Amino acid sequence: MSRLIVVSNRVAPITEGQPTAGGLAAGVMDALKEKGGIWFGWSGEIVPAGAAGEAREQALGPIRLFTVDLSRRDYDEYYRGFANDTLWPTLHYQTALARFDWGEFAGYRRVNALFAKAIAALAAPEDIVWAHDYHLLCLAEAMREAGCANRMGLFLHTPFPAPQVLMTMPAHAELMRSLCQFDLIGFQTDIDRAAFADYLVREAGARQGRGQALHVFGREIRTGVYPIGVDVAEVRAQALAPARDAAQLRASMGGRRLLISVDRLDYSKGLRQRFAAFERFLEDYPSARGDATLLQIAPPSRSDVQTYREIRRELEAEAGRINGRFAELDWMPLRYLNRGFARAQLMPLYAVAQIGLVTPLRDGMNLVAKEFVAAQDPQDPGVLVLSQFAGAARELTAALIVNPFDMTGIARALDRGLGMQRGERMERHADLLRVMRRNSLARWRDRFAADLAGRKQGIVPVQ
Ligand code: ADQ
């Protein structure tokens, strides 16, 4: 029987008997548990050059976790360099923030090859390889070069940009040729899939095949749309469990209204624009002063990348300025928390808020938007204000959809959301839940795994 081999940059930190941290990790774990399988990734350790690349094994029930260490050079070129300083901004349409270096691209390919070599040593010919995300776009090519004929699929968690945006990255042709060594490439939305196909048709002479297949570079690849979801029942159960932080937050609000935003500290999440929109809201709707508070939770991420350090400094200054301008003796408009929360504490916080404010400039999906909806009380739900440029907006059309660059538009949506009658809130919430129950985390996982294994699946529309 074929096993599933999941490959991602990092293997989620897992301890036996403990619940896994994020929904995604839990979803992947479930898939592995069902079939038994392997999860492969970087250990998070940086070691001297000679000691890098050795795979270490840890058994976790029916799952085997394999990790490798990286050298400083590997880390700088592959992770910090090409993946996070070139690919991440380019995939999120932030071309002005992208920095390109051919040496780093070579380093990225070298680490993909290092992964491939270690996986090739573990994989039986019938095993199926499921790679995740923008760190591993060259993995299939490296595995083919290592002599593996396995079925291989990649799910891209980020957006896929319009061809003209991708082409600002000098190695686009090499990267796309390499990526097309996968058998199945999955995207979050139809827009991402269409952009990918558009590039291949225009720039590489691809022909459309049957369904969503493409003939390119002398082979046939399949593509598909697999919107990632959350486990609605689990999120609601977590939101309802007693939690100290949520009780404290509720008490501190004293009957005033709460807007909540939760993000990794990342320029793609639109935090600067969001702070500005909240300021505009306080300017344009004076009755909100002394009443509405925005709680922004944003733990630092990738803090050894320069642009991430800059955004952190900038946001701290902006939060201070806005609070200085509007705060009253007994009311602080913006609470900015520079730290993460455990899931068990975070889900109940969503349930305290009247508005979920999710305004990324670009986002593959954005699970926070879905978690916020799932955490709400269906009898008295909060309102989701959602960026049109989050993948989630393709499904969550009953949210108040905004343009994250339009301060006035966001301010108006906040006013509308806070004033919305319960009947309309319940109706919109029921709509959102219906879509989310259908496109659940389990369905995302099962559809991708089944398509990769080549089993027949009906084409199911996204909504
Ligand atoms: P991310 O960019 O990390 O993920 P997102 O999907 O919003 O973005 O969040 C992932 C998870 O991290 C969520 O479960 C959330 O609860 C948690 N999280 C975020 N901020 C947190 C905080 N401050 N404290 C604690 N937990 C926090 C990438 C892509 C997304 C895509 C996902 C999954 O960038 O577009 O939705 O992968 O495919």
- Residues 130-181 pLDDT 10s: 999 999 999 999 999 999 999 999 999 999 999 999 999 999 999 999 999 9
| pLDDT interval class at 455 (50, 70, 90) | low
Pocket test for ligand 1, best of 367, 389, 444 (most atoms within 8 A of CB): 367
List the structure tokens of 371. 């978690």
Determine the pLDDT at residue 24.
66
Residue 21 and residue 165 in one domain: yes
C-alpha 156 to ligand 1 mean position (Å): 14
C-alpha 369 to ligand 1 mean position (Å): 10
The answer to whether position 458 is within a domain reads no
Residue 19 and residue 74 in one domain: yes
The answer to whether position 350 is within a domain reads yes
237 in Cβ contact with 326 (< 8 Å): no
Alpha helices in 207-362 (DSSP H): 232-240, 244-253, 271-284, 306-326, 343-352
Determine the pLDDT at residue 463.
35
Q: Ligand 1 pocket by C-beta < 6 Å: which residues?
A: 22-24, 157-158, 228, 262-264, 297-299, 340-341, 346, 363-368, 371
Task: Name the DSSP class of 50.
Answer: G
Classify the C-alpha dihedral 113-114-117-119 as positive or negative.
negative
Residue 198 and residue 270 in one domain: no
Alpha helices in 207-299 (DSSP H): 232-240, 244-253, 271-284
294 in Cβ contact with 259 (< 8 Å): yes
Number of domains in the chain: 2
Distance CA 307, CA 97 (A): 8
- The residues, ordered by sequence, that sit 6+ positions from 201 with a Cβ below 8 Å of its Cβ are 207, 208, 214
Q: What is the pTM of this model?
A: 0.95
C-alpha 309 to ligand 1 mean position (Å): 19
Q: Whose CA is nearest to atom 35 of ligand 1?
A: 364
Pocket test for ligand 1, best of 368, 387, 440 (most atoms within 8 A of CB): 368
The answer to whether position 173 is within a domain reads yes
C-alpha 371 to ligand 1 mean position (Å): 10
Q: Pairing mode, if any, of strands 207-208 and 213-216? A: antiparallel
Burial readout 160-184 (b: 16 or more C-beta within 10 A, e: otherwise) = bbebebbbebebbeebbebbbbbbb
Distance CA 229, CA 6 (A): 18
For residue 23, give the ligand 1 atom closest to its CA. 14
Q: Whose CA is nearest to atom 10 of ligand 1?
A: 367
Distance CA 461, CA 356 (A): 26
Residue 226 pLDDT > 90: yes
C-alpha 316 to ligand 1 mean position (Å): 21
Q: Which CATH number is 337's domain given?
A: 3.40.50.2000
For residue 391, give the ligand 1 atom closest to its CA. 35
Residue 458 pLDDT > 50: no
- The residues, ordered by sequence, that sit 6+ positions from 185 with a Cβ below 8 Å of its Cβ are 153, 154, 155, 156, 179, 196, 221, 222, 223, 224
Of 159, 182, 263, the C-alpha closest to 7 is 182
Task: Name the DSSP class of 354.
Answer: S
Strand partners, 296: 261, 336
Distance CA 340, CA 363 (A): 19
Determine the pLDDT at residue 53.
76
The answer to whether position 461 is within a domain reads no
The answer to whether position 313 is within a domain reads yes
For residue 337, give the ligand 1 atom closest to its CA. 23
Residue 168 and residue 88 in one domain: yes
The answer to whether position 462 is within a domain reads no
Residue 110 and residue 244 in one domain: no
Does the annotation mark 127 as catalytic? no
Q: Whose CA is nearest to atom 18 of ligand 1?
A: 263
Residue 254 and residue 155 in one domain: no
Distance CA 364, CA 258 (A): 26
Determine the pLDDT at residue 18.
47
CA angle 44, 45, 47 (to 5 degrees): 150
Taking only the tens place, the pLDDT of each residue in 37-59 is: 999 999 999 999 888 878 899 88
Determine the pLDDT at residue 272.
96
Residue 268 and residue 355 in one domain: yes
Task: Name the DSSP class of 2.
Answer: P
Residue 335 and residue 195 in one domain: no
Mean predicted confidence (pLDDT) in 230-248: 95
Residue 446 and residue 421 in one domain: no
For residue 363, give the ligand 1 atom closest to its CA. 35
| pLDDT interval class at 457 (50, 70, 90) | very low
Residue 293: how many other CB atoms lie within 10 Å: 21
Residue 293 and residue 351 in one domain: yes
C-alpha 363 to ligand 1 mean position (Å): 10
The answer to whether position 459 is within a domain reads no
Task: Write down the catalytic residue from 231, 363, 446, 451.
Answer: 363
C-alpha 392 to ligand 1 mean position (Å): 12
For residue 342, give the ligand 1 atom closest to its CA. 25
Distance CA 75, CA 434 (A): 42
Residue 327 and residue 415 in one domain: yes
| pLDDT interval class at 14 (50, 70, 90) | low
Burial readout 243-256 (b: 16 or more C-beta within 10 A, e: otherwise) = beebeebeeeeeee
Give me the domain span that covers residue 380: 233-437
Does the annotation mark 363 as catalytic? yes
Task: Write down the catalytic residue from 92, 132, 135, 157.
Answer: 157
CA angle 361, 362, 366 (to 5 degrees): 110
What's the whole-number average pLDDT of the chain?
93
For residue 301, give the ligand 1 atom closest to its CA. 3
Mean predicted confidence (pLDDT) in 409-437: 98
Residue 250 and residue 315 in one domain: yes
Please indicate whether residue 309 or residue 289 has the higher confidence score (pLDDT): 289
Q: Whose CA is nearest to atom 7 of ligand 1?
A: 366
Classify residue 96 as exposed, middle or buried by CB count within 10 Å of its CB (0-12, 13-18, 19+).
Answer: exposed
